[in-house]
Amino acid sequence: MKSEKVLITGCGGMLGSAVYPYFTKLYDDVLATDKDVNEKWLFKLDVRDHAHLDSIFKEFRPDLVLHLAAETDLEYCETHPEIAEATNSVATRKIAKLSEEYGTTLVYISTAGVFDGTKSDFYVETDKPNPIMVYGQTKYDGELHVLNNCSKAFVVRAGWMMGGGEAKEKKFIYKMLKQIGENKKELFAVNDLWGTPTCAYNFAQNLHALVETKQYGTYHMVCAGGGTRYDVAREILSICEIDDVELTPVSSDFFKEEYFVVRPPSERLANAGLDRIGCNLMRPWQDALRDYIETHFPSYVRSRIQA
């Protein structure tokens, strides 16, 4: 076991539910925090509370901070820009400054949403961000604060997250499985937005390997391959062995009432930086998705139900 102390922020979410078990297996002393204490192993910390951050750094003295906390709902960020800024940007600056003061290594999780999505190929780390919505802008501001204020820092951009299982998966996969569970016979999925699914469990493993390299900087960390939401939905149906549901491709306009924030048309990332340093452990997204569903949602796989 490693003796370094690890502080994790925003650990009660999708990614935290994979990062926490992985890092507690490796490190003796992990302080997992979130603003909502939804697990008994979580300690309350709202990262907007700068005095609390001061006291945690002073008392716990983390060697490593995994800064996951963020306002991640795009529509909420757009309608509450001041909360998005305080959480994603201002709190990150504070954490970056404290990390520098205490000699702490800081890992900041960012997003493919920092790009405007107009590139026809996969984005690499040398491409210039150009956010088009509040979430992307505040996350990019957070990136700059990290790089400008902390010398031992990693900025790690993830793609469409899959993780959290039955309790915490709240994004696309959950929405698809929920409809399957409700016996819907027609599903709709967007086919004009491109991205790279990112398995939270694979991400946690790769994150640890990256931290070990001490090769600080900005990295993309996504599963291999890209696709649309429609491609992911088709794969989910195939993994669940469902052939009596009609899947209809639609444009993003179809969901514009619910998802009124315009997304970048392409959020496809390539792990060029990880490849360069020989630290790319990410699997093809289809393999990761299969493992994820079979492990965390076995009751949705027909042959498992019948067995």
Ligand X SMILES: NC(=O)c1ccc[n+]([C@@H]2O[C@H](COP(=O)([O-])OP(=O)(O)OC[C@H]3O[C@@H](n4cnc5c(N)ncnc54)[C@H](OP(=O)(O)O)[C@@H]3O)[C@@H](O)[C@H]2O)c1
**9 belongs to the binding site for ligand X (CB under 6 A):** yes
34 binds ligand X (CB under 6 A): yes
**225 φ/ψ angles, rounded to the nearest 5 degrees:** 95, 160
Backbone angles phi, psi at 270, to 5 degrees: -120, 140
Tell whether residue 71 is a contact of ligand X (CB under 6 A).
yes
Binding segment toward ligand X, per CB under 6 A, in 117-125, 153-161, 255-263, 270-278: 153-161
Residue 187 phi, psi dihedral angles, 5° rounding: -120, 150
Interactions with ligand X, residue window 107-136 (CB under 6 A)? 109, 111
Most distant pair of Cα atoms in the chain: their distance: 59
Buried b (16+ CB within 10 A) or exposed e, 242-277: eeeeeeebeebebeeeeeebebbbbbbbbbbbbeee
CB 225 within 8 A of CB 297: no
163-182 residues near ligand X, rule: CB under 6 A = 171
Among 7, 10, 20, 31, contact with ligand X (rule: CB under 6 A): 10
Q: Is residue 221 a contact residue for ligand X (CB under 6 A)?
A: no
CA distance 2 to 82: 39
Q: Using CB atoms, what's the residue nearest to ligand X?
A: 13
Strand 217-220 vs strand 246-250: parallel, antiparallel, or unpaired? unpaired
Q: Which is nearer to ligand X, 14 or 190 (CB)?
A: 14
Show the site string, 254-273: x = touches ligand X by CB under 6 A, - = not. Answer: --------------------
Least separation in angstroms between CB 300 and ligand X: 20
Binding flag, residue 193, ligand X (CB under 6 A)? no
- Three-class DSSP category at 268: coil
CA angle at 138 for the pair 67 and 166, rounded to the nearest 5°: 55
CB 18 within 8 A of CB 163: yes
Binding status of residue 47 toward ligand X by CB under 6 A = yes
Which one of residues 160, 194, 216, 297 is an interface residue with ligand X (CB under 6 A)? 160
Establish if 16 lies at the interface with ligand X (CB under 6 A). Answer: yes
Asked if 72 touches ligand X (CB under 6 A), the answer is yes
Name the 3-class secondary structure at 184.
coil
- Could you give the angle at the alpha carbon of 150 between the alpha carbons of 147 and 155, nearest 5°? 45
Q: Is 50 in the site for ligand X (CB under 6 A)?
A: no
- Residue 68 sits in the site that holds ligand X (CB under 6 A): yes
Residue 70 in the binding site for ligand X (CB under 6 A): yes
Closer CB to ligand X, 161 or 210, in the complex: 161
**Residue 69 sits in the site that holds ligand X (CB under 6 A):** yes
Residues that bind ligand X in the complex, under the rule CB under 6 A: 9-10, 12-16, 34-36, 45-48, 68-72, 87, 109, 111, 139, 158, 160-161, 171
